[in-house]
Structure 1
Amino acid sequence: MKIIRFINEGLSQLAAVNDEGQIFVLLQSDFLALIQEADEKEISPLELVLKMIEGREALTCQVDQLELLVPIEAPEVWAAGVTYERSRDARNYEATEGRLDALTFYDKVYDAVRPEIFLKSTAARTVGPGGEVQLRSDSVWQVPEPELGLVLNATGKIVGYTIGNDMSCRDIEGENPLYLPQAKVWKRSCSLGPAIRLAETVDDPYNLQITSRIYRNGEKAVEGTANTNQLKRKLDELTEFLIRDNELFDGTVLLTGTCIVPPNEFTLAHGDRIEIEISGIGKLVNHVVGAGS
């Protein structure tokens, strides 16, 4: 069962989408209200949704016909880095100007007990499905990073899964690791969507297929695939470090790292179209605009 937000007669509307693609409008105003009501009734979110849609008629349209919004206005989006071997190799390439034989701090964090976790975005900097992600003006090497996103409550419990795009400036990060915040955080540098899959309906989060495609001038320029079974770290491990001595807010999203990196000679350009698809969640589509757009 997936949860979406969309525009209905000028207002934000929450809806459930079952595995057959049927859409049922829900009464709650947002995803957190749904989770809160389930907690108050001491039932699971799935049980609550099934009770609400029982006997109800589905909308006579498909999800791709709706004007979708970001599925949750996350107060904070955090991200984990170097959680896949491919990500470690890409970071090493950036930091050593292509000398893959050099040992770097990325190798150390890949094998360390403590993972790399950083603040990625806020609600104001995050766009939803169909929205425009923006390039940074002082970077010439920028890429999307397709990632599985964990939707968390204030205790760090995973209540849902979504798709995230952690836009990154490879040249800025590679120049100096202390520049990581600038390589990761700027306006419209993060996207989430198109839906939140209820956590209890995901049989195995370590067996989700991830596909990323980038189109330029209507033609596919880059495509890559990965699976969450390639994750070096467990999801509970990442959330445990995030909540350690930290104040977490309901609806926080934690992106879990990427295993799909475009070729080193590739950089995003104005007009590109980014598609990120994760099995069971959907396809997040965003368009790229230049700095200052």
Structure 2
Amino acid sequence: MDLIDAPEGLWLGRCWRPDVAGPAVVTLRDGTLTDITSATAPTVSDVLDLPDPAAHVRGAPGEALGPLDEIAANPCDRRNLHLLAPCDLQAVKAAGVTFARSMVERVIEEQAAGDPTRAEAVRARIGAAIGDSLRDLRAGSPEAAEVKRALQAEGLWSQYLEVGIGPDAEVFSKCPPMASVGPGADIGLLPVSTWNNPEPEIVLAVSSAGRILGATLGNDVNLRDLEGRSALLLSKAKDNNASSAIGPMIRLFDDGWGLDDVRRAELTLLVEGEDGYTLTGHSSMSEISRDPEDLVAQTLGRHHQYPDGVVLYLGTLFAPTEDRDVPGEGFTHKQGDVVTISAPGLGALRNVVRLSTEAPEWTFGTRALMKNLAARGLLS
């Protein structure tokens, strides 16, 4: 699939410019990546907090940097012009357990204590008890409360079911601002993990005032063994070097594309191993148990402010169970896997799996960005 499959869309992103040793705010005009960085809006966070971000992106003066396809093919290092994750100062948050089928897999991880050899037997036992009873439930509804009571009576209640169908969503910090990688970059796994998988997701772009202004794609890299051992290891399982991929660019909402399109989005996952192995998967946003607006409202509001805005992973329906190597142990990544997440209207996000200890170190953070923008005369 093309990196950007809807050229008629209004696109906002970031790229690294080696000539200024820093990032640029960019948009796409007639297939050309165009730098629209300005003192008015030197960051994507600033753009999204303008009264009308779409109008700004359409009308901002720009400098053509080159054809998008050529720039996207460049190596992701500071010697080359290349795409970055399309967020900068925003908090990177993620909603977990938002789909019934993946919720059951989280319960299996917990019951198996992170041991993939036990997962198949646990899956069969839980499947027999739960079946499809969770599929049509709306989280926090009276019907969900009845299911909760029934499961508790059977001794099958879990913290994952609590956040999956209870009134309160799971929203956690995926990584610090500026730590996400973009299209073409390596994504990282902890060396100690032996049971892990990609998570194809929609990522919302939200202003500091809570306005949902656009969407992009994300890979919320998941270490099933660590989280399965203990939910208190969530940050160790989720927040590592290169463990958050977002991109290729944010598609801003306009008259032709909006939040309802996100609600109908169909995501496709393709994993291609160096050994010829392939895995395909699917995540349908129509099956989400919590509406995106509800997830945003539970993330920020009067109870919690984010003055630089938020990008929010919405969770995934995808949870791979087919065996890759050892019967009964399911899927896990191998180094060199190429992971492609795509959705009509949002393009494609492609990354290569490495160890977090071997992926490029994250060294350009918020302090470096502020120094760079100041040196370029972009901070008032």
Give the structure-2-normalised TM-score: 0.69
Q: 1:266 aligns with which of 327, 331, 342?
A: 331
Deviations 1:230-249 (A, max 9, x none): 11101111111111521313
1:84 positional shift: 0.8
1:96 positional shift: 2.0
Amino acid at match of 2:246: L
How far apart, CA to CA, are the structure 2 residues paired with 1:122 and 1:270? 24
The structure whose Rg is larger is: 2
* Counterpart for residue 33 of structure 1: 46
1:219 positional shift: 3.3
Inter-CA distance 46–181: structure 2 relative to 1 (3 Å threshold): same
Q: 1:46 aligns with which of 54, 61, 85?
A: 54
1:174 positional shift: 1.4
Q: 1:14 aligns with which of 5, 25, 28?
A: 25
Structure 2 residue 257 is matched with structure 1 residue 202: yes
How far apart, CA to CA, are the structure 2 residues paired with 1:91 and 1:134? 21
Secondary structure at the counterpart of residue 123 of structure 1: coil
Structure 2 residue 95 is matched with structure 1 residue 85: no
Secondary structure at the counterpart of residue 127 of structure 1: coil
Structure 2 residue 11 is matched with structure 1 residue 2: yes
**8 A contact 1:2–1:281 mirrored in 2:** no
Deviations 1:33-75 (A, max 9, x none): 3334x42xxxx2222333337xx89776234534211111244
1:172 positional shift: 1.4
Amino acid at match of 1:241: Q
Inter-CA distance 261–35: structure 2 relative to 1 (3 Å threshold): same
Structure 2 residue 67 is matched with structure 1 residue 61: yes
CA RMSD of aligned residues (A): 2.4
Unaligned stretches of 5+ residues in structure 2: 1-9, 73-81, 113-121, 130-155, 323-329, 359-380
**8 A contact 1:136–1:290 mirrored in 2:** yes
The aligned runs of 1:149-228 (5 Å cut-off) are 149-200=203-254, 202-203=257-258, 204-217=261-274, 219-228=276-285
Secondary structure at the counterpart of residue 125 of structure 1: coil
Residue identity over aligned pairs, in percent, reads 28
How far apart, CA to CA, are the structure 2 residues paired with 1:33 and 1:10? 23
Inter-CA distance 193–8: structure 2 relative to 1 (3 Å threshold): same
Q: More deviation in 60-69 or 175-184?
A: 60-69
1:81 positional shift: 0.9
How far apart, CA to CA, are the structure 2 residues paired with 1:49 and 1:124? 21
* Counterpart for residue 167 of structure 2: 113
How far apart, CA to CA, are the structure 1 residues paired with 2:288 and 2:89? 24
Unaligned stretches of 5+ residues in structure 1: none
**8 A contact 2:45–2:90 mirrored in 1:** no
Q: 1:285 aligns with which of 350, 357, 374?
A: 350
Structure 2 residue 111 is matched with structure 1 residue 96: yes
How far apart, CA to CA, are the structure 2 residues paired with 1:283 and 1:266? 22
* Counterpart for residue 287 of structure 2: 230
Amino acid at match of 1:26: I
**8 A contact 2:200–2:283 mirrored in 1:** no
How far apart, CA to CA, are the structure 2 residues paired with 1:57 and 1:242? 36
Secondary structure at the counterpart of residue 205 of structure 1: helix
How far apart, CA to CA, are the structure 1 residues paired with 2:269 and 2:35? 30
* Counterpart for residue 300 of structure 2: 243
1:105 positional shift: 2.7
1:27 positional shift: 4.1
Give the structure-1-normalised TM-score: 0.87
- Larger proportion of strand: 1
